[in-house]
């Protein structure tokens, strides 16, 4: 199967069950909302080393936010609901409450929720106050530019982490251009993030290592400098660069939609193949098959 001149490998992305949430950050200006969102989503590329995966979902116009100010929607994922709650307390407390003019609101009405503002309120040193609006409790925490407003509880829901595409190109320039185009297209999909730097990964990993203390190591089969050294290289002679895009989403459908968009955007002259990473179906709970995505199916 091909898109234009690019071969789509008959394989699947193996993804995992995670828990996710949506956070709405607002501020007096778009710039301050983005500053808080960028800070909150820093060092959140992989649960392997960062305890969570987070990214900016989209910017929000003032008409679409709870307090009618410019806003940013952030998605955050962890391996369980409690982990999401812990990371929210840490990151909202250190990265959003500290940012001038911001407020922070829950963006998911899930059946399960975690106390966040109800923990951050103690920073107010007994000067904090609560208010109930529309059945939802908010906390008003005094800070040096006025008040930081934050929802008491944030909803969490099951999500999907680790959807992915591997883009195999002839040169770094061509492959990087295709990856950036794919990320741009994926960001049009709702309910997903690409948590790595500007959405792109160069250091793809495999499970295990020759060093017993490491749980993951470089995906040697896709390293072009190792093509003539290892016996099981997956690269053809004209494939000089591989870049990966990892997708987390609030549903399997959302991840599949993003992958479909990404494949169409990345396919171009100079991109030899588009594939996906998996573990033979032995680890992840979801298998998202590339050919079925292009045939109109979900997985």
Q: Assign residue 262 a region: left if phi > 0, alpha if psi is -120 to 50, beta otherwise?
A: alpha
For residue range 95-124, list pLDDT tens digits in order: 999 999 999 999 999 889 999 999 999 999
For residue range 150-166, list pLDDT tens digits in order: 999 999 999 999 999 99
**Nearest partner of 120 among 152, 98, 143, 147, judged by Cα:** 152
Same domain, 285 and 238: yes
Give domain status of residue 299, yes or no: no
For residue range 50-86, list pLDDT tens digits in order: 999 999 999 999 999 999 999 999 999 999 999 999 9
The reported pLDDT for the residue numbered 252 is 97
Give domain status of residue 232, yes or no: yes
Same domain, 148 and 204: no
What CATH number has the domain bearing residue 209? 3.30.70.520
**Which residue is listed with tokens 């295990």?**
208
Q: How far is CA 243 from CA 1, 88, 173, 183, in A?
A: 20, 30, 11, 12
Q: What is the mean pLDDT of the chain?
A: 96
74 vs 44: CA distance, rounded Å: 12
Same domain, 152 and 54: yes
* Residues 47, 78 contacting (CB under 8 angstroms): yes
3-state class of 126 per DSSP? coil
Same domain, 170 and 245: yes
Same domain, 34 and 115: yes
Same domain, 124 and 205: no
Give domain status of residue 280, yes or no: yes
Q: What domain range includes position 143? A: 18-157
258 vs 8: CA distance, rounded Å: 16
Q: Crossing angle of helices 252-266/172-186, nearest 10°? A: 140
The reported pLDDT for the residue numbered 297 is 58
Give domain status of residue 181, yes or no: yes
277 vs 258: CA distance, rounded Å: 16
Same domain, 186 and 278: yes
3-state class of 177 per DSSP? helix
The reported pLDDT for the residue numbered 298 is 55
Same domain, 193 and 273: yes
């Amino acid at each position: 199967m091909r898109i234009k001149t690019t071969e789509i490998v008959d394989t699947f992305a193996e993804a995992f069950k995670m828990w996710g949430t949506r956070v709405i950050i607002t501020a007096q200006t778009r710039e301050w909302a983005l500053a808080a969102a960028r800070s909150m989503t820093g060092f959140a590329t992989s649960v392997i080393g960062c305890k969570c995966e987070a990214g900016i979902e989209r910017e929000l116009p003032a008409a679409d936010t709870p307090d009618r100010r410019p806003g940013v929607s952030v998605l955050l994922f962890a391996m369980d609901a409690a982990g999401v709650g812990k990371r929210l307390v840490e990151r909202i407390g250190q990265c959003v409450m500290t940012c001038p003019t911001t407020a922070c609101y829950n963006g998911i009405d899930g059946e399960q929720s975690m106390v966040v503002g109800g923990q951050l309120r103690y920073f107010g040193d007994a000067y904090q106050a609560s208010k109930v609006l529309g059945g939802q409790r908010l906390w008003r925490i005094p800070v040096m530019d006025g008040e930081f407003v934050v929802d008491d509880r944030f909803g969490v829901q099951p999500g999907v982490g680790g959807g992915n595409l591997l883009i195999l190109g002839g040169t770094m320039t061509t492959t990087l251009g295709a990856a950036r185009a794919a990320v741009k297209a994926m960001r049009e999909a709702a309910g997903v993030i690409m948590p790595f730097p500007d959405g792109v990964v160069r250091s793809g990993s495999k499970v295990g290592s020759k060093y017993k203390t490491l749980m993951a190591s470089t995906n040697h089969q896709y390293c072009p400098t190792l093509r003539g050294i290892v016996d099981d290289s997956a690269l053809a002679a004209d494939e000089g660069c591989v870049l990966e895009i990892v997708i987390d989403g609030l549903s399997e459908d959302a991840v599949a939609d993003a992958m479909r968009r990404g494949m169409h955007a990345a396919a171009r002259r100079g991109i030899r193949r588009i594939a996906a990473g998996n573990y033979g179906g032995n680890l992840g709970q979801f298998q998202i098959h590339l050919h079925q995505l292009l045939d109109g199916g979900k997985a």
